[in-house]
A and B are shown apart, each in its own frame.
Chain A
Amino acid sequence: MSIFRSGLAKTRQSFFGRISQILGNTEIDDEIWDDIEAILLQADLGVETTQRVIDDLKNRVRKQGLTSAEQLNTALRESLQDLMQRPPVLNISGRPLSVILVVGVNGSGKTTSIAKLAHRLKLAGRNVLIAAGDTFRAAAIEQLQTWGERVDVPVIAGQPGSDPAAVVYDATEAAKARGHDVLIIDTAGRLHTNYNLMEELAKIKKVSQKIVPDAPHEVLLVLDGTTGQNALQQAQKFREMVDVTGVIVTKLDSTAKGGMVFAVFNDLNLPIHYIGLGEGVNDLVDFQPEIFIKSLFEEN
């Protein structure tokens, strides 16, 4: 077991620590390529994206004749930045009522993210209502209601075990009647492999359209930042079923780097809107590619 530990200790050294060791060296050797590869893989970029970044970087090195560590470092950031863009603003303006549907697997952080998002929107002057569409998990409704009180946003809920589509219908109607301009719909966590539950999501979506024909205007997928390559399958399946429009990545206050979002963005063209950095109401922040990329190289 000690091999693993020392392996860990080695990889925990910061990238800059390692790259500074080659300062003054005019040759970019194999070991540096291995180091870069290790950093990208360990940030959960996955084999394919990592290879893509390294190929691109090698190209830059050759074409631009890069020799120093500093140049390599800059080029690496450029390579990564080419694979990630700033998200568009959420499509929740310019109409009386905008609907945001929030989906994701169990335990990814949907309810917490919704509370934080509601808080943000409220601070931005929006009149928010939340629909407690998770009628399945024990005490999910209470959890959302507690958050609702905490951020002072009303929550429409039904009975535990009741049809989530019915709750969503009621909530959409209520949002319209009471003059709310944003409705955020919470849904039960579901594994993307559960076809039946995925169909239920499509139904929820349809129900909201009965009242607001072009709803939902945003469908946000909440991805757990500690998830590995399965994030891509999750995003794929949820997108197939409910046309996901964007992503929230949670738990990035951990030592996980969330690198799978590169593949989610590039392969599926899903923008990353927010990242979750903790359990406080203010811990949902805008996704900024430069800061995100910088954090890939930061020591834990």
Chain B
Amino acid sequence: MFESLSNRLQDTFDRLGRSGTLNEKDVDAAMREVRMALLEADVSLPIVKDFVKRVKERAVGAEVAKALKPGQMVVKIVHEELIETLGEPGRLNFSGSTKPHVIMLVGLQGSGKTTTAAKLALHLRKEGRQPFMIAADTYRPAAVDQLVTLAKQIGVPYYEEGVSAKPEDIAVRGLKAAKESDAAVVIIDTAGRLQIDDQLMTELEEIKRRTEPAEVLLVADSMTGQEAVNIADGFNKRVGITGLILTKVDGDARGGAAISMRAVTGVPIKYLGTGEKINADSLELFHPDRLADRILGMGDVLTLIEKAEEAFDEAEALKLQKKMMENNFTLQDFLDQLQKMKKMGSITQIMKMVPGMGKIIDQIDEEEIDRRMKRVEAIINSMTPYEREHPKVLNASRKRRIANGSGVEVRDVNDVLKQFREMQKMMKQLRKGRLKIPGLPSIPGLN
């Protein structure tokens, strides 16, 4: 249903023809498309209007770079302006000598505060700080149990009083307990609430007043629609937020709410939450360029590349990249890569970042990952080196031999080969694009 902005603009400008500079008429036509694209991505209307105005000012009269078509030039400007609007990723504020530093998580019901609290605690511990969690949601049934279960699961100390006391008192006593246990950072989980709920917002103000947090982070669902401006503005006005965490980013929402919230509050986006599992990969640093790509429907190729780079050493990465570019990617490489992917965390998470990888996600599934990966390994291991380099020679009898050798059915061998071909196809698509502005067909000279 969504069409990437570059495709839309392509159509518009194909109709308009081309010239050396962007004239007002062309730009106006393009801005209609930009406006639609942003609205479809759930950017709030007032933010869209302002954004379009700024892009228009920049675009009218702009010289179209030699290598670009007018449509691509507009996408480039939109992309740059979007990155600027999204702003630099914010780091958590650990300045000042008062310890522990307090981080308060606030947000609507169901935005993912408790899960995020645990992810954040794990993330901070990975950074070498001693985290501590306080369960201050006394409203939602079993919210305290949830926090306690997660805290135990990741082995982080916590404080709770069930639901018998007022949240602000629990927060204060929890902070005292954290001090005594020498914690460096305290994460206060608060109950979900609507920004228009005066009584509950007053409670947040009170928690803030008494715990003096260094950070008040608004945890927001990345699927939020037009309401995003009201939520962010409401929380910011009442409790003064210092940053944003967007959750459920592993879905397929465009995430325009990020722009709305960022624009209306002026506070930075600090993290993105992916997946419900609490592990090292499920809280990501925010990269404005990638989110801009996503909002414009251009996939998230850079995140993938970075994840890959973390797991592969540089020389190997270069070699692989070369192979991908030259279309020499073989089953042996596939096997090597599968083995290395184990180091990269959740595979579905990685796959999702690649445009058009939906089909492969369907085949590789997270829960059964080990079993399936082992099967794939076994199948490729049962092939001769020649077969791995030249899968075309795999006729029925060879496939039967491989199936017998790896203890699977011929069907499974075919599945692996199919998967491999899909991967090759995907790489071909990657090869066609330039990574600076993914999704745009061949823009020589832009990099």
**Is B367 a contact of A255 with CB atoms below 8 Å?**
no
- In the assembled complex, the CB of B28 is this many whole angstroms from the nearest CB of chain A, namely 15
Of the candidates A42, A143, A160, A255, the one whose C-beta lies within 8 Å of that of B45 is A42
In the complex, whether A172 has a CB less than 8 A from a CB of chain B is: no
In the complex, whether B50 has a CB less than 8 A from a CB of chain A is: yes
**CB within 8 Å of B: which of A129-175?**
136-140, 142-143, 145-147, 150, 160
**Is B50 a contact of A228 with CB atoms below 8 Å?**
no
In the complex, whether A214 has a CB less than 8 A from a CB of chain B is: no
**Is B227 a contact of A255 with CB atoms below 8 Å?**
yes
In the complex, whether B223 has a CB less than 8 A from a CB of chain A is: yes
How many positions in chain A have a CB within 8 Å of any CB in the partner chain?
58
In the complex, whether A191 has a CB less than 8 A from a CB of chain B is: yes
Bound complex: CA of A101 vs CA of B254, how far in Å?
Answer: 28
1/0 per residue B267-285: CB within 8 Å of A? 0000000001000000000
**Is A143 a contact of B146 with CB atoms below 8 Å?**
yes
A228-B256 contact in complex given A7-B46, A251-B109, C-beta closer than 8 Å: yes
Bound complex: CA of A65 vs CA of B365, how far in Å?
Answer: 59
Q: Which chain B positions have C-beta within 8 A of A22?
A: none
In the complex, whether A300 has a CB less than 8 A from a CB of chain B is: yes
Q: Which chain A positions have C-beta within 8 A of B195?
A: 254-255
- In the assembled complex, the CB of B179 is this many whole angstroms from the nearest CB of chain A, namely 27
**CB within 8 Å of B: which of A225-264?**
226-233, 251, 253-257, 260
**Is A106 a contact of B365 with CB atoms below 8 Å?**
no
Bound complex: CA of A147 vs CA of B361, how far in Å?
Answer: 36
**Segment at the interface with B among A24-32, A43-51, A53-61, A88-96:** A43-51
Bound complex: CA of A43 vs CA of B348, how far in Å?
Answer: 33
Q: Which chain A positions have C-beta within 8 A of B112?
A: 106-107
In the complex, whether B153 has a CB less than 8 A from a CB of chain A is: yes
A142-B225 contact in complex given A11-B46, A189-B276, C-beta closer than 8 Å: no
- In the assembled complex, the CB of A149 is this many whole angstroms from the nearest CB of chain B, namely 9
User: What is the chain A residue whose CB lies nearest that of B110?
Assistant: A107
Q: Which chain B positions have C-beta within 8 A of A3?
A: 50
In the complex, whether A63 has a CB less than 8 A from a CB of chain B is: no
Instruction: Categorize the interface residue count of chain B.
Output: 35 or more
**Is A254 a contact of B221 with CB atoms below 8 Å?**
no
Bound complex: CA of A191 vs CA of B222, how far in Å?
Answer: 12
- In the assembled complex, the CB of A112 is this many whole angstroms from the nearest CB of chain B, namely 8
In the complex, whether B263 has a CB less than 8 A from a CB of chain A is: yes
**Segment at the interface with A among B36-44, B289-297, B331-339:** B36-44
**Is A41 a contact of B226 with CB atoms below 8 Å?**
yes
**Is B196 a contact of A300 with CB atoms below 8 Å?**
yes
In the complex, whether B325 has a CB less than 8 A from a CB of chain A is: no
Q: Which chain A positions have C-beta within 8 A of B257?
A: 228
**Is B256 a contact of A105 with CB atoms below 8 Å?**
no
In the complex, whether A38 has a CB less than 8 A from a CB of chain B is: yes
**Is A226 a contact of B231 with CB atoms below 8 Å?**
yes
User: What is the chain A residue whose CB lies nearest that of B266?
Assistant: A1
**Is A229 a contact of B40 with CB atoms below 8 Å?**
yes
**Is A193 a contact of B366 with CB atoms below 8 Å?**
no
1/0 per residue B364-385: CB within 8 Å of A? 0111100000000000000000
Bound complex: CA of A8 vs CA of B226, how far in Å?
Answer: 11
A selection of 14 A-B contacts at a CB cut-off of 8 Å is: A5-B233, A38-B45, A44-B226, A138-B150, A143-B141, A192-B251, A195-B361, A226-B227, A228-B42, A228-B253, A231-B223, A251-B108, A255-B195, A257-B226
